[in-house]
């Protein structure tokens, strides 16, 4: 297909990977989800999650710490809503 990206040999479910990328997810997140779906089944992966509270309930300090863990730059100058947006779209 024209315009499609080759996810590489490490991605086990390339169709799901492409769907996730088209939705705007990062390469890393798309590959992680696609590989988990290939290993455990799509419905199993879909049921996982929901274990973390909403970022809205986190303190700015905790948001900055999580952004640091993920390597998000510019976090020291971000306010709470900027940090939440950066974390959600990583």
pLDDT digit string, tens, across residues 5-48: 666 667 878 888 888 888 888 888 888 888 887 777 766 665 55
CA 23 to CA 9: how far, in whole Å? 21
Q: How confident is the model at residue 84 (pLDDT cuts 50, 70, 90)?
A: very high
- Angle of helix 27-40 versus helix 14-22 axis, rounded to 10: 140
Q: Determine the average pLDDT of the residues in 50-61.
A: 79
Exposure of 20 by Cβ count < 10 A (0-12 exposed, 13-18 middle, 19+ buried)? Answer: buried
- Of 83, 82, 59, 52, the residue nearest 70 (C-alpha): 83
Residue 90 has pLDDT above 90, yes or no: no
């Amino acid at each position: 297909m024209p315009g499609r990206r080759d996810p590489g040999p490490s991605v086990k479910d390339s169709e799901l990977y492409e769907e996730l990328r088209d939705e705007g997810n990062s390469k890393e997140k798309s590959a992680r989800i696609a590989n988990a779906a290939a290993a455990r089944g799509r419905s199993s992966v879909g049921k996982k999650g929901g274990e973390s509270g909403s970022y809205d309930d986190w303190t700015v300090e905790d948001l900055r710490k999580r952004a640091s863990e993920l390597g998000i730059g510019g976090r020291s100058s971000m306010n709470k809503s900027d940090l939440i947006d950066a974390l959600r779209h990583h």
